[in-house]
Chains A and B, each alone.
Chain A
Amino acid sequence: MTTAAATIGDTLAPVRSKRGAAMIAFRALLVRDVQVLRKTFVAFLMRTVTQPLLIVFVFAYVFPEIGQGVGGSGEGATLFSTSLMPGLIGVAVVFQGIQAVTIPLVSEFGYTREIEDRVMAPLPIWAVAAGKIVSGAIQSAVAALIVVPFALWIPSTPVEVELNWLALVTVAPLACLLAGALGLAIGTRAEPGQIPLVFGIIVIPMTMLGAAYYPWERLGAIEWLKWAVLVNPLIYISEGFRMALTGIPHMSAWGIYTALVGFTAVLSWLGIAGFKRRVLA
């Protein structure tokens, strides 16, 4: 053992500026999460792909093929598969945010205390929590990319893509950050035994009522529902991707951006506050 002796001096001062140390640690935390993602990539792929694959297969391939129309046939079917594509991306993003952030956090807070090794890294606790949001966002983005080909090529009717690049490069990062923040907010509040509940009463209603499978504008036919679903952040993610990727009528751009930014801010604040409360005595 020849380590510490030489470095113990009379003065005791940190070797790095706080900001420098914190930025390095923040980056290292993300690298750690990416490494874990790499090690578990097959599982990641399976949980990312299964649900959208089945939805797109059943609704946009099986139904039209057997003549059981969702969205009718011909133009209606194209409208459906086109509308479904951004919705599935939105679902993948939100689903991954919860999978990537909530589930590990709940067990780390509940059964094990292993998050504490990262809390002891030389950065503020809020930054450790923010790192969780960013790492969730990265995983959500990967999930979104994986889902795109399924949503494009499996439907038996053509999907009509109309790319709006400016919208895409602004909506996508916001949507992914929102998903990470949602994952953190839930993860710092749920107990280990409540995970099935999280999926049963949060994730499934969110996806069913998140304008993923239908454009929000079309809910005009059920006026109360159209307004009631606005509490669901997935609405704005689905509509945002619809705006960025298709020519289908969507919610107004300012509504989408305001809600995406607003939800991200509020959920981040809730998540970081919850994280601090769980970690600090």
Chain B
Amino acid sequence: MTGGGANRTETGPSADIIRTEALTKVYASKGGPAITAVDDLELGVHAGEIFGLLGPNGAGKTTTVGMLTTRVVPTRGRAWLGDVDVIDDPVAAKQLIGVVPQVSTLDRALSVWENLYFHGRYFGMGARSARRAADETLERFRLTDRANAEILELSGGMAQRLMVARAVLHRPRLLFLDEPTAGLDPQSRLALWDVIGELHADGQTILLTTHYMEEADQLCGRVAIMDHGRILALDTPATLKRSVGSDTEIRITSPEATRVPDLARHLEDFDGVQAATATTDGLVRVYLRGDHAGLARLIAHADAGGFEISDIGITEPTLEAVFINLTGKDLRE
């Protein structure tokens, strides 16, 4: 693992445009024990990369983004955007960033065009350049025909595209996207991936959080897998997937739904199987070391155990497999 973790400073601070040092957020909860949402986080994001925080809900991703974008006050630790200390100097930090939070924060009292125009004005553009930037941004994000629409008339996908459009309108040095495609239909998600890819191609540094492993895999140069406020692994998606040690994921469907957990346990004993987990929809996911040369013997092993198999699928390992391997649980749990 390079570029992350405690060794970060050895790579030199100039490489990292976002840095954190022992960043921690503890929430006091009424009547219960305090909750450590983010725990001693050491993070380094390079200029120009798309950096992903991947983890289930409650992993601490949003709290991390909140602290980096001045909205959440850390309990302890430090964070820098370039040379700007986020905690000491939130106003300077806010000049550098564009943020797309999880919920829509579009200004409903204003039209689509006005949302962009006033955003430009907040960030110091004069009336004329804000007007021009609003026009151009609408064009670029294919929203021109909705310029005069009210916010509540927009579809979810369009509203989200407008959120991203607004966040980059003032040309921030850093773009934060918190679960940018959560709740979008597949088509809107792909459209937004295109937008994010184009921004990246333009050199935009992006930190995004997601609990969709395909999203992290598809978009991110590097991914930090988070759970319980800690980073469990940090690397390129390809390296992370290799690190699981299993090169192939085999999905086995059994017609005997009630015996699926038994089948998983049975297959786990087989030599060469990294892990085997039963899913709720009657499926066993088996992570196999090496390529699928051992597949025939695996099937024979299931057969010998008296299990019926109705379907087999083979896939390359996913980031989800990495997550399961690290935590023993599903991303969706």
Is the pairing of A and B real? yes
Binding site for B on A (CB under 8 A): 1-5, 7-8, 10-16, 18, 20-22, 24-25, 28-29, 31-32, 35-36, 39-40, 104, 112-124, 279-281
CB of A101, distance to nearest CB on chain B (Å): 13
CB distance from A175 to the nearest CB of B (A): 26
Q: Is the CB of B104 within 8 A of A112?
A: yes
Residues of B within 8 A of A112 (CB): 103-105, 108
Bound: A40/B95 CA distance, A: 31
Q: How far is the CB of A252 from chain B (nearest CB, A)?
A: 42
Check if B168 is an interface residue, CB within 8 A of chain A.
yes
The reply to whether A4 and B84 form a contact with Cβ atoms under 8 Å apart is no
Interface assignment of B201: CB less than 8 Å from any CB of chain A: yes
List 8 A-B residue pairs with CB atoms under 8 Å apart, sorted by A's residue number: A2-B202, A3-B171, A8-B205, A10-B14, A29-B122, A117-B166, A118-B122, A120-B94
Complex: chain A residue closest to B170, CB-CB: A122
Taking a contact as CB atoms under 8 Å apart, the answer to whether A12 and B121 are in contact is no
Q: A28 touching B122 by the CB < 8 A rule? A: yes
- B72's partner among A15, A28, A40, A281 (CB-CB below 8 A) is A281
Cβ-neighbour of B114 out of A35, A118, A281 (below 8 A): A35
Contacts A4-B202, A11-B82, A112-B104 known; list 7 others, CB within 8 Å: A1-B198, A11-B83, A13-B84, A14-B96, A31-B118, A104-B109, A124-B91
Q: Which of A4, A15, A32 is in CB contact (< 8 Å) with B203?
A: A4
- Closest 3 pairs between A and B when the two form their complex, measured CB to CB: A12-B82, A28-B121, A121-B122
- The interface size of chain B toward A, counting residues with CB under 8 Å, comes to 56
Given contacts A12-B84, A281-B72, A281-B73, contact A4 B101 (CB under 8 A): no
- Count contacts between A and B, CB distance < 8 Å: 142
User: When chains A and B are docked, how far (Å) is the Cα of A134 from the Cα of B138?
Assistant: 31
**Chain A residue nearest in CB terms to B136:** A3
Q: Are A8 and B124 interface neighbours, CB within 8 A?
A: no
- Bound form: Cα–Cα A18–B196 in Å: 29
Say whether B110 faces chain A, with CB atoms less than 8 Å apart. Answer: yes
User: A275 vs B202: C-alpha distance in the bound complex, in angstroms?
Assistant: 37
Contact of B140 with A by CB under 8 A: yes
CA of A123 to CA of B105 in the docked complex: distance in angstroms?
A: 18
Would you call B66 and A120 a contact (CB within 8 A)?
no
What is the CA–CA distance of A85 and B114 in the complex, to the nearest angstrom? 39
| Distance in Å: Cβ of B104 to nearest Cβ of chain A | 7
State whether A117 touches B103 (Cβ < 8 A). no
Using known A-B contacts A36-B109, A121-B122, determine if residue A4 contacts B199 with beta carbons closer than 8 Å. Answer: yes
CB pair A18–B202 under 8 Å, yes or no, is: no
Residue B204 at the chain A interface, CB threshold 8 Å = yes
B123/A121 in contact, CB under 8 A: yes
Chain A residues within 8 Å of B66, by CB: 281
A15 close to B91 (CB less than 8 A): no
Q: Are A117 and B71 in contact (CB under 8 A)?
A: no
Q: Is the CB–CB distance between B110 and A35 below 8 Å?
A: yes
- Complex Cα distance, B1 from A246, in Å, reads 79
The docked-state distance in angstroms from the alpha carbon of A114 to that of B103 is 9
CB-CB under 8 A from A4, the residues of chain B are 168, 171-173, 199, 202-204
A18 to B166, CA, bound (A): 21
In the assembled complex, the CB of B275 is this many whole angstroms from the nearest CB of chain A, namely: 37
Task: With A4-B171, A123-B91 as known contacts, state yes or no: A21 contacts B110, CB within 8 Å.
Answer: no
C-alpha spacing A119/B119, complex, angstroms = 11
In angstroms, Cα B97 to Cα A122, docked, is 10
Give min CB distance, B182 to chain A, whole Å.
15
- For residue B172, which residues in chain A have a CB less than 8 angstroms away from its CB? 4
Give the contacting residue for A21; candidates B17, B63, B91, B104; CB below 8 A: B91
Chain B, 59-117, CB within 8 A of any chain A CB: 63, 66, 69-73, 81-84, 89-92, 94-97, 99, 101, 103-110, 114-115
Closest chain B residue to A36, Cβ basis: B109
CB contacts (< 8 Å) of B273 on chain A: these are none
Contact in complex: A21, B124 (CB < 8 Å): yes
A16 pairs with B205, CB closer than 8 A: no
Residue among A8, A15, A119, A279 making CB contact with B204, cutoff 8 Å: A8
Chain B residues, CB < 8 A from A2:
202
Q: Provide the bound-state CA to CA distance between A191 and B242, in Å.
A: 51
Centre residue among B48, B71, B174, B205 by max chain A CB count within 10 A? B71
What residues on B are CB-neighbors of A120 within 8 Å?
A: 69-71, 94, 97, 99
Residues of A within 8 Å of B81, CB to CB, are 12
